[in-house]
Structure 1
Amino acid sequence: MGVGETTKLEPEPEPEPKDVHRHQEEEEEDDDDVEEEDEGLSDTRTAIALGLSAKGKGQRQRQQQQECAVVQQVSDKLVSGSLQWKIEAAREIRKLVRKSPSSSKTRSRLGAAGVVQPLVFMLSSSNPDARYSSLLALLNLAVRNERNKVKIVTAGAIPPLVELLKTQNSSIRELATAAILSLSAAAPNKPIIVASGAAPLLVKILNSGSVQGRVDAVTALYNLSTIIKKNSTELLNASAVSPLINLLKECKKYSKFAEKATALLEILSNFEEGRTAISVADGGILTLVETVEDGSLVSTQHAVGALLSLCLSCRDKYRELILKEGAIPGLLRLTVEGTSEAQDRARVLLDLLRDSPPERRLASSVLEKIVYDIAERVDGADKAAETAKRLLQDMVQRSMEQSLNCIQHRAASCNPSVIPST
């Protein structure tokens, strides 16, 4: 399986225990035992249902009260207990969240009970167990809880997390990466994380981390990229290209992970160092071409955007490299099947590629076959010929328009004094 298909980006709560709905099953069995010949049957059913409902509600209330008491005990240990008590309390938080029938409510109760600040303080402890247990507790509090994410960052978690990204302890470093990933999903946290200097450290993890660490780093960088200007190097540098290409090679091109990786590559294609790194990376351009052919609507749009950025920056430098990897068939298909943005990008790139020397141009018979195959997949065999004809006419029209524009441009720049008189 591909990287994007097998890894978990955030810790998942354990499945709901099987006996949660046991009282409901008992209600249904009790109802089935009532004889329908009895007078006042509906009243009896209503009384039983109300009684059992009240019983179930009472049980839930007692469970909530017990959990609230445990939450308060955990909070007290974290606030005023010894270091060992705090470590035990942090471990208890993880257990509470993972084993709770309603983990979202448990996260909210823990966040409201004041456990976040002492857990953040533990991140800077010299005790490895304290750092490890607090990281796990904060991760479980942050997952799927926007308010807790913001609380954790407001409490000052980012500076110690950035320091933990530098540690030689791979387990701690991987947990810190996962924590940055989770916290970066909340919009208010993104500027704080970018300003902290976390991004260059995440790029380093792309080059040297475990598979899980690299996947988490990609997702965190993708989350942060939404506030970065299109051509900014504040988030990414060219050293991110090679690991991104390698990860993209390994994953399914239509996966969500591929969408994130290609989005980052498109950002990198907007400055010269990034474009050069893509062109010299082992299989860099080929991997983007393969994504154009096999990717989702989102990943194909990013992939063709990256290729277009290369070709627009210097056609003479990149056009031959793109043609060499067989980009034409995928681009032709994209003009029909992609998003409107991807279709426009594919058409512009095709126009740029058709400016290549004659020996690099497709023979008309090959081009017609490619277009016909695309039309057959899109509209079926019955309408394939008509669709293919329309596509070819559109390509010819665009080529003629481009040639006319070139002629007009040359005429406009021509010196009138050298134009022969008639």
Structure 2
Amino acid sequence: MTNEAKRNLSDVETQVKILVEDLKNDSADTQRNATAELRLLAKYDMDNRIVIENCGAIGLLVNLLYSNDPETQENAVTALLNLSINNNKNKSAIVDAGAIEPLIHVLENGGSEAKANSAATIYSLSLLEENKIKIGSSGAVGPLVDLLGNGTPRGKKDAITALFNLSIHHENKARIVQYGAVRYLIELMDPAVGMVDKAVAVLTNLATIPEGRNAIGEEGGIPLLVEVVELGSAKGKENAAAALLRLSTNSGRFCNMVLQEGVVPPLVALSKSGTPRTREKAQALLSYLRNQRHENA
């Protein structure tokens, strides 16, 4: 590190120490200004994020997630989001400071921007494996599903990304289904919304459990998954084929529904032209469907 960079960091540290004292101040204006400055300092610079954590700001920012001042609350949640980016030490420090419950509070009660940033923070924290379990069992799933169904377009994007990450962990899948996420995910498979790939990725994870498969079949997901196999992106096609394979092999009724949707021609095309993993899934589904036809015949 150059001398100039060291000097700059030393200046930042001095500034952050003052801001940390301001966070403890009872004046709403002082807190609002301090959270706004920390939000900015944490936005672009990795070194700043380390300094802010070292100066003890994280616990104070977590407490301010309960602030009655909407601007302070939004600044605090956004500062925590920025602090968590590309920094596993900070991710752990944020969770250790008891942030999950206050983040859920913001998800349930914050303004639309604060809600979206709370979902984005939960996503960022859930990149650490051990946090997936903590977040899933602490009551975050319900408010995330609510944001998925009723949030702003940005809120929905942040909610779906967080839910995808949580759905990687097996224990969270049933929770996500129980809170009614499947219906919203199927609504988000409208190409006009621009979230087809993300929705299909979450549905593919949920299709690994019986409750997930039932919900996908009952909520009208099969025709849309077939459509993605035909018209989706490369990643969408691979996930849709995987989800349909799980639906078909576990239920004769769903298997018939998949066949009735005319999935065979697009699967044949995919089995020849997709990525190696996609071809493998398309071929597995084709051979299963052919066997079922023979047995039925």
Same fold, TM exceeding 0.5?
yes
2:178 aligned with 1:240: no
SS, match of residue 354 in structure 1? helix
Matched with 1:305 is: 242
Tell me the residue number matched to 2:34: 89
Shift of 1:309: 2.0
Query: Taking structure 1 as the reference length, what is the TM-score of the superposition?
Result: 0.62
The answer to whether the aligner puts 1:329 opposite 2:265 as a matched pair is yes
Matched, 1:111 2:53: yes
TM-score by length of structure 2 reads 0.85
- The counterpart of 1:279, out of the listed 217, 223, 235, is 217
Q: For residues 114 and 4 of structure 2, what CA distance do their matches in structure 1 show?
A: 40
Provide the C-alpha distance between the structure 1 equivalents of 2:132 and 2:9, rounded to a whole number of angstroms.
34
Query: Measured at CA, do residues 215 and 252 of structure 1 come closer, stay the same or move farther in structure 2, by a change above 3 Å?
Result: closer
Task: State the partner residue of 1:379.
Answer: none
1:228, distance to aligned residue in structure 2 (A): 1.7
User: Could you tell me which amino acid in structure 2 is paired with residue 172 of structure 1?
Assistant: A
How far the C-alpha of 1:340 sits from its partner, in A, is 4.8
Select the residue among 57, 67, 72 that pairs with 1:125.
Answer: 67
Q: Is the 8 A contact 2:148 2:156 kept in 1?
A: yes
Stretch deviating more after TM superposition (172-181 or 200-209)? 172-181
Shift of residue 233 of structure 1?
0.6
Q: Of 127, 147, 172, which aligns to 1:205?
A: 147
The answer to whether residue 112 in structure 2 is matched with residue 170 in structure 1 is yes
Q: What pairs up with 1:250-289 in 2 under 5 angstroms?
A: 250=191, 258-281=196-219, 284-289=221-226
For the aligned residue pairs, the C-alpha RMSD in angstroms reads: 3.0
Instruction: For 2:192 and 2:244, locate their aligned partners in 1 and report how far apart those are by CA, in whole Å.
Output: 19
Matching residue's letter, 1:241 = V
Secondary structure at 1:235 match in 2: helix
Q: Distance in 2 between matches of 1:353 and 1:189?
A: 39
Matches within 5 A, 1:152-163: 152-163=94-105
Counterpart amino acid of residue 181 in structure 1: Y
Question: Which amino acid is 1:312 matched to?
Answer: T
CA distance in 2: counterparts of 1:201 and 1:208, whole angstroms: 10
C-alpha displacement at 1:82, in angstroms? 4.1
Give CA deviations for 1:195-227 in whole Å, capped at 9, x if unaligned.
111112211222211111111111001111222
Secondary structure of 1:223's counterpart equals: helix
1:344/1:69 CA distance change after superposition, 3 Å: same
CA shift in 2, pair 1:205/1:301, >3 Å: same
Distance of 2:28 and 2:55 partners within structure 1: 19
Deviation string 1:265-291 (CA, Å, 9 cap, x unpaired) is 123334444334333445x22321232
Deviations 1:73-98 (A, max 9, x none): 21232245644323221111122234
Q: Is the 8 A contact 1:162 1:198 kept in 2?
A: yes
Distance 1:348 1:59 in 2: 60
2-structure distance, mates of 1:86, 1:271: 46
> Structure 2 CA distance, aligned partners of 1:168 and 1:87?
15
Over residues 40-64 of structure 1, what are the superposed CA-to-partner deviations in whole Å (9 max), with x where a residue is unaligned? xxxxxxxxxxxxxxxx955444333
1:212 and 1:319 map into 2 onto residues whose CA distance is 35
Question: Could you say which residue in structure 1 is the equivalent of 2:168?
Answer: 226
1:2-401 alignment, distance < 5 Å: 57-79=2-24, 82-98=27-43, 103-167=45-109, 169-228=111-170, 232-237=173-178, 239-250=180-191, 258-281=196-219, 284-315=221-252, 317-354=253-290
Report if aligned partners of 1:286, 1:325 keep a CA contact under 8 Å in 2.
Answer: yes
Across the two proteins, how many residue pairs are aligned to each other?
Answer: 296
**Correspondence for 1:8:** none
Compared CA separation, residues 168 and 79, structure 1 to 2 (3 A): closer
**For residues 17 and 175 of structure 2, what CA distance do their matches in structure 1 show?**
43
- Structure 2, gaps ≥5 residues long: none
SS at match of 2:177: coil
* Paired residue type of 1:220: A
Distance 1:67 1:336, change over 3 A: same
The question of whether the paired residues in 1 share the 8 Å contact of 2:142 and 2:179 is answered with no
The answer to whether the Cα contact below 8 Å between 1:300 and 1:342 also exists between their aligned partners in 2 is yes
* Deviations 1:121-150, CA, capped at 9 Å, x for gaps: 111233333322211221222222222121
Residue by residue over 1:89-117, the C-alpha shift from the partner in whole angstroms, topping out at 9 and shown as x without a partner, is 1111122234x6xx111111111111101
**In 1, Cα distance between the equivalents of 2:26 and 2:249?**
63
Q: Which has the higher helix share?
A: 2
Distance in 2 (CA, whole Å) between partners of 1:122 and 1:310 is 45
- Equivalent position amino acid for 2:206 in 1: L
After the TM superposition, which of the residue ranges 216-225 and 302-311 deviates more from structure 2? 302-311
CA contact (8 A) 1:203 1:236 kept: no
**Identity in percent:** 33
Q: Measured at CA, do residues 278 and 226 of structure 1 come closer, stay the same or move farther in structure 2, by a change above 3 Å? A: closer
